[in-house]
Structure 1
Amino acid sequence: MLHIHNRTHRFLILLALGFSLCGAAQNDSITFLALGDSYTEGTSELRVNSWPFQLSSQLRKKKIPIKDPKVIALVGWTTSDLLEAVASENPKPNYDLVSLCIGVNNQFRGQSFEKFQQEFSELLEKSIRLAKGNPKNVIVLSIPDYSVTPYARFKDTPKIVKELEAYNRYIEKEANARNTSFIEITKISRNARVNPDMLTQDSLHPSKKMYKAWVKKISKEFKFQKP
């Protein structure tokens, strides 16, 4: 296994020996598919400041060849919306890296938790298939905690926290059961309570600074593997 963090020199040596990363052929760039909602789209931020684009940029700085991400995500999407979008776009199952971050709008709209469980599991299975059938090529992010944002100041924040914790427990359980990489970024999102610059001007969605902190954690915890 190759860690992105502090292992770039080893990665370059492997490339020189003719190895590939996540099944990508030598001299090819890693392909990246990002699935989700506003937190993946980077709502209210420039697209290049969203976490998928920041991750790609950071990896290129480490001399790891990766293409800009293909993003299937939109503000307000639930698991149902994402399933429909993936079915409509029908991406080929040949991505070297796939990320999944979804569920906040299920909770926000008060939808059935059981429906979320069923559809999230289906999306996770689709993510693995799209990642060439390799769960080690899949990153699953926890749902951020929007209860700390000014947007939620007149809402039932204890209820939001309790429900999102249930959602995230299920997400982590499913991710671990399928041997994908679960990245917990909820604690980072709570820094917005005391750092308003971690939010955009809409007082709800993460800013470039917040996404940068997510990318730092992803880069530290996600592992690449040689074939």
Structure 2
Amino acid sequence: MTTAAISYLALGDSYTIGEGALAADRWPVQLAGLACAQGLNLASPDIIARTGWNTAELQEAIAASGNHRRDYGLVSLLIGVNNQYRGQGVELYRQEFRQLLATAEAYAGGASGHVVVLSIPDWGQTPFAHDRDPAQIAHEIDQFNAVAQAECQAAGVTFVPITDLTRAAAGDASQFTSDGLHYTGSQMRQWASRALPVVKGMLK
């Protein structure tokens, strides 16, 4: 008898929706594919994400989505780059990120152990940012990620760092879409591959 697929909800912004890349290249879609290839029956994700969203806009979109499920086997969250990009403070991010964690847990039936958060990519290393201060952007991204990691630890949620992968992509045109800001499937596959063993450990 075939076991039912594990339902999956991915929450985020342009990095989750895969701006500029094919739908099949989105990292949550690749994660589901990689998981299935290794015997974990993870369903293709439902996605609530849009380019440009910050934490508040994601929460508003979730409320407006009409999705009231509380039985997802896995919920992922990757959010915060637009907070940093707009110059919003880390303390506001902390408050809103904490609310999003609670929302993610609710979608997972209250099981924090079925929620995974990915760190914020460093857009300062992209071609788009050639005229910006990469050190300043990196410093601010690190501050936001430190907040996210601390909030995850307090909530019992697994935090997967991928920022280093995005920094290593600097100078490699194959890692970026045509806008020079977002990532191709090959870069997002690295994110999915790093999350995969964590997810398998959570769900087996």
- CA drift of 1:118 comes to 0.7
1:188-224 CA-to-partner distances (Å, cap 9, x unmatched) read 0112213221111211101100011111111133322
2-side partners of 1:154 and 1:30: how far apart? 44
- Aligned with 2:17 (options 25, 30, 41): 41
SS at match of 2:75: strand
Give the residue type in structure 2 aligned to 1:211.
M
Report sequence identity in percent: 37
2-side partners of 1:189 and 1:207: how far apart? 11
SS at match of 1:193: coil
Give the residue type in structure 2 aligned to 1:124.
L
- What does residue 109 of structure 1 align with? 86
Report if the CA contact (8 A) 1:191-1:198 is conserved. Answer: no
Structure 1 segments, 4+ long, off by >2 Å, are: none
- What does residue 98 of structure 2 align with? 121
**Root-mean-square deviation (CA), in Å?**
1.4
Report if the CA contact (8 A) 2:34-2:193 is conserved. Answer: no
Report if the CA contact (8 A) 1:145-1:190 is conserved. Answer: yes
Calculate the TM-score normalised by the size of structure 2.
0.94
5+ residue gaps in structure 2? none
SS at match of 2:15: helix
- Aligned with 2:39 (options 41, 63, 72): 63
2-side partners of 1:141 and 1:35: how far apart? 11
1-side partners of 2:149 and 2:98: how far apart? 11
1:73-109 CA-to-partner distances (Å, cap 9, x unmatched) read 0000000110000101142111100000000001101
Q: Which has the larger radius of gyration?
A: 1
- What does residue 95 of structure 1 align with? 72
Give the residue type in structure 1 aligned to 2:10.
A
SS at match of 2:169: helix
2-side partners of 1:81 and 1:102: how far apart? 10
Number of equivalences = 202
